[in-house]
Amino acid sequence: MSTTGKLLIARHHESVWNKKGLWTGTRDVHLTEYGFEKAEDMGRVIQDIHIDQAFTSMQVRTIETLACMLMTLDLHCVPTEHAKELNERDYGDYTGKNKWDMKSLVGEAEFDRMRRDWDCPIPNGETLKMVYERVVPFYKTKILPFLLEGKNVLVVAHGNSLRALMMYIESIPPEEAKNVEMLFGAIVVYDVDQEGHKTSKEVREIRSDVNA
């Protein structure tokens, strides 16, 4: 019986706008010095897994995080694909606004609904459902084939694009979307079946303190 490779998923670490408490979405923002340091730490907790293939979004904060992780692992020639399908949720008109000011303005319940729910609209932006509809087909057609070949794949993306991916991998229904979280500094290691669904899951974490 053939064995699939390991799927590792990781969220980029602290960006300049994370530190300021701003909704970043599709805006391209670099990591902070703290984010670079913690990205290196993220590499150290997966030293026992050889990475054969990597994917990031098109956004610089994921590219920088991956570079730090691979440098720490002393891996300099890992084939890497940058894909728009893995980009963060588009926060539309809320991009660049302070999250905590918005929470005070709309109230905690509505704020949580905007951030966590499956199909909550944002003016000129995306819902989590819309993110799912671009992330999952990419996973099935581009990432899963490597896993089925027995290769270990590292995906560095964003809070919401990874939440969407986790919902597919773990067969989580839309009504449970609010409970799905991808923390800063966490690397989730999956074994998957032929359809790309979870057969086992391990979470490795570093200590992180991010204002997001």
Residues tagged active-site: 12, 88
- Angstrom distance (rounded) from CA 209 to CA 190: 25
φ, ψ at 31 (rounded to 5°): -70, 155
Q: In what order do the strands lie in the sheet with 7-11?
A: 80-82, 53-56, 153-157, 7-11, 186-192, 198-205
In this structure, the number of other CB atoms found within 10 A of the CB of residue 91 comes to 24
CA 155 – CA 35 distance, rounded (Å): 17
